[in-house]
Amino acid sequence: MRLSGLLKGVRTRSVQGPVDRIIHVLRYDSRRVEANDVFFAWKGEKTDGHRFIAEVCDRGAAAVVLENPSYAMGRNSTFIEVENARRTMATMSANFFGRPDRTLKMVGVTGTNGKTTTTFILKHLLTEPKFPVGLIGTVRYEIGERILPATRTTPESLDLHELLAQMKNAGCRAAVMEVSSHALEQGRVEPIEYQVGVFTNLTQDHLDYHQSMENYFAAKSILFSNLDRPETPGVAVVNADDEYGSKLMQFLGERVRVIAFTLQGRPGAEVEAFDLEFSPSGTKGMLRVGEVTYPFTLPLIGAYNVANALAAVGGALAVGIAPRVIVERLHDTPQVPGRLEKFVSADGVTAVVDYAHTDDAVRKALLVLRGITSGRLIGVLGCGGNRDAAKRPLMARAAVECADYSIFTADNPRNENVESILSQMEAGVAYPRFQGKYERLADRRQAIAHALALAKPGDIVCIAGKGHETTQEIAGQFHPFDDRTVVNDFLQRRAA
């Protein structure tokens, strides 16, 4: 493809050199650049890509997209100066791969909690034998029959558009993806025109990056900002029970069709669930879509999983799936990896592995389990290092208030001291009424083993924080560690 074609829709400050060059590949990793490639340089949090421009030019890069023009000197490459190279890469990547987002029905799911479960349910509701659906999210990427490990919740734009192109080639008719606030603010999902945007909820998280809840909400709102396209309008699916969901609906006004969903009987909601009954095997109740009501069953536990299912129902309705078909498919919804994933020992101890890593998610997970526990509820959780420290005491307090006993341990400490993290957690429960309700044990494997040893038949142990993850990051090193494998190992030892 010629460079001139890649620049369609790109706002440039200046172009030095020819634009009729044939381009082989786009790269943002300087180490992978070869002759006739395009390299994108921007200043990141840790590294400034401009430092590698001379190196990639020496290797024959056909063009360099950059923000600092002082690096565009004395080379044979074409230099394209832009305001934001990362956003420009998104547009050029979409052009390079032939705008696969315009062929696929694009469904984006955003929010603090519930994105992964919602996308898994929604993919299930949309999938038909001859029409596979692609999936992009925290757990994995699915391209037809191929399953790839996820590198991040929302990939860098170049990788994202390549995945979408592969989905198109695999015969997928739709792509369901988690869209993070970071990706939205950094422009990683541009220039995708989503047919459906789904908002699950908003609670405190990522304030180390966004600084305030207002900024966090503004970033999430970007997904919905262009749904009011005159020729190809999109649909917003919004949680009417959430404070920020209500704000989002006010922001959208009459400009966009909104499918609101509710568990609390909010007036005006198009989708509602009520008369819910919970058990260890799942949930049953009544589902109202518009004026018609259907009985439904869902093999997932907890009210918030019903809320996630309602978000998926709204998304499926927006895509055009009939309500009766949706209800039928809800019945055999698959287990979501690391999201209230259950393991049971031979002597009747249940362990649940969940990805909860905010105080709201921890509280909700434990309250769900409280409702189906005949014995004690024991919680195991930690807080990630080099992440929002403000939520650490809040998470600890949620655990101690909702569980009978809690063990604070390491999550992914990254480059922080584990004991320091645990002390910050403990600050949230430094009150006499919480004395004797928790302990701290830095080694995560030991903490899980200790919790399962304390458990008796009828008890439930909730291991929160890492969910589906298969590694633990400590001091820059990734060590094999899967909560689910550890749990299985110790539960089998109980039966031995």
The model carries a pTM of: 0.86
Residue 495 confidence (pLDDT): 67
Tokens of 43: 């200043």
Residue 178 confidence (pLDDT): 98
Kindly compute the dihedral angle of the four CA atoms of residues 165, 166, 171, 173, in this order, to the nearest 10 degrees.
Answer: -50
Give dist(CA 83, CA 192) in Å, integer.
Answer: 20
- From the candidate CATH numbers 3.90.190.20, 3.40.228.10, 3.40.50.10540, 1.10.3210.10, the one assigned to the domain spanning 341-495: 3.90.190.20
Give dist(CA 287, CA 352) in Å, integer.
Answer: 27
The CATH code for residues 3-95 is 3.40.1390.10
Q: What does each C-alpha distance from 495 to 443, 459, 462 come to in angstroms?
A: 24, 15, 19
Pairing between β-strand 63-66 and β-strand 78-81 as defined by DSSP bridges: parallel
368 CB-near residues (< 8 Å, 6+ apart): 278, 301, 302, 303, 304, 305, 340
Q: Which single residue is written with the structure tokens 């393991």?
A: 343
- In the chain, domain spans: 3-95, 98-330, 341-495
CATH class of 98-330: alpha beta
- Give the mean pLDDT per block of 10 residues along the chain (496 residues): 96 96 97 97 92 95 96 88 97 98 97 94 94 95 93 95 97 97 94 97 75 90 94 96 96 96 96 93 94 97 92 98 98 92 91 92 94 94 94 97 98 97 97 97 98 96 96 95 96 80
Give dist(CA 98, CA 114) in Å, integer.
Answer: 31
Residue 294 confidence (pLDDT): 98
The three-class DSSP label of residue 418 is helix
